[in-house]
Amino acid sequence: MKTYIIGHLKPDTDSVVAAMALASLYRGVDCFSYSNPEAAITGEINPETQFLMDKFGMTAPAILSAEQIQSDDQVILVDHNEEDQRLVGLNPEQIVEIVDHHKAKLNFNQPIFLTFKTWGSSNTIIAFMMKKNDFTPDQKLASLMLAAILSDTVGFKSPTCTPKDKEMATWLAELAQITDVETFTLEIFKAKSDVSKLSCEEIVKNDYKVFDFGGKKVMIDQLETVEQEKIISEKKDCLLDAMRQVQNELQVDLIFVAITDILKVNTKLLVLDEAAAQVASQAFGGTVQNNVLDIGAKLSRKKEIAPPIEKALS
Ligand SMILES: [Mn+2]
């Protein structure tokens, strides 16, 4: 019997490291009675997470499929809760706990443990849980947890960032013995931005979430980069073709690709068709020009991009 701790589809650094960190806490502190806590991920890690694993000599958790989960195993979700973002085929009756910082959309037939905080990163929540339990992550794990907080809060610049994120990051930076957090943040940004090895289809599927907004399936992919202009001027047509293909493949009603410049703090939305253009204009104002809508100083999909789209569709 195992307890799998697993993040969302299309794993990002926060979700991969949150699974590792929570598994480490649950293995390390006696009062948690989970049997064999084991971190897992839903699919290949992204280039940023790979960079961090290499940098700190760590190995990412193994990819788990629903078929590998035995009927007596338990599952803990981290960094997500909605069904559309869970491992495909996962039996909701095996979920025993959720630790998350996203809007809750839940419907369970059994009582479960829930830890939801409106902080900028799931790793902030887990660091907080560690402190409460007098548990100290080792230097490598602390480094990864710090990186996850910096990644999710875009170096503390995202509107999702809270004082608690900074407080936990300070604690983790000490444990990690990382004194120059700013330089470390830039290193993470560069790794995040490296799309040189990705095809347009891979970019469109690099960091996407599918939402159910008023009965419509809406896919929002976000590319956080320091090369926004270059990507739009060099890859727009190729990305639009890939968006068309991915929209068909995933059977979503609307598809948006947000290209976010994390240094300039600006997002440009790639919009595929007239239906999406209308929704985008209604959500953010302005007019779509050549399939691009500049939505201004926005960084956070969760707080600044998805909610206006949801509102426009309601
Ligand atoms: Mn997160």
pLDDT of the residue at 277: 97
Q: Write the CATH number of the domain with boundaries 3-191.
A: 3.90.1640.10
**Range list for CATH 3.90.1640.10 in the chain:** 3-191
Ligand 1 centre to CA of 13 (Å) is: 8
Asked if residue 129 lies in contact with residue 25, where contact means CB atoms within 8 angstroms, the answer is yes
Q: The pTM is what?
A: 0.85
Give the integer Cα–Cα distance in Å for 18 and 99. 9
Ligand 1 centre to CA of 290 (Å) is: 32
Ligand 1 centre to CA of 238 (Å) is: 29
162-221 pLDDT, tens digit each: 999 999 999 999 999 999 999 999 999 989 888 888 899 999 998 899 999 999 999 999
Helix/strand/coil (H/E/C) assignment for every residue in 31-99? CCCCCCEEEEECCCCCHHHHHHHHHCCCCCCCECCHHHCCCCCEEEEECCCCHHHCCCCCCHHHEEEEE
Ligand 1 centre to CA of 58 (Å) is: 20
Ligand 1 centre to CA of 15 (Å) is: 6
Least confident of 54-58, 125-129, 217-221, 223-227: 223-227
Lookup: tokens for 191: 């790794």
Ligand 1 centre to CA of 266 (Å) is: 20
Asked if residue 309 lies in contact with residue 279, where contact means CB atoms within 8 angstroms, the answer is yes
Give the integer Cα–Cα distance in Å for 104 and 300. 17
Ligand 1 centre to CA of 102 (Å) is: 8
Ligand 1 centre to CA of 152 (Å) is: 6
Ligand 1 centre to CA of 123 (Å) is: 8
pLDDT of the residue at 193: 84
Give the integer Cα–Cα distance in Å for 183 and 264. 17
**Range list for CATH 3.10.310.20 in the chain:** 200-313
Q: Write the CATH number of the domain with boundaries 200-313.
A: 3.10.310.20
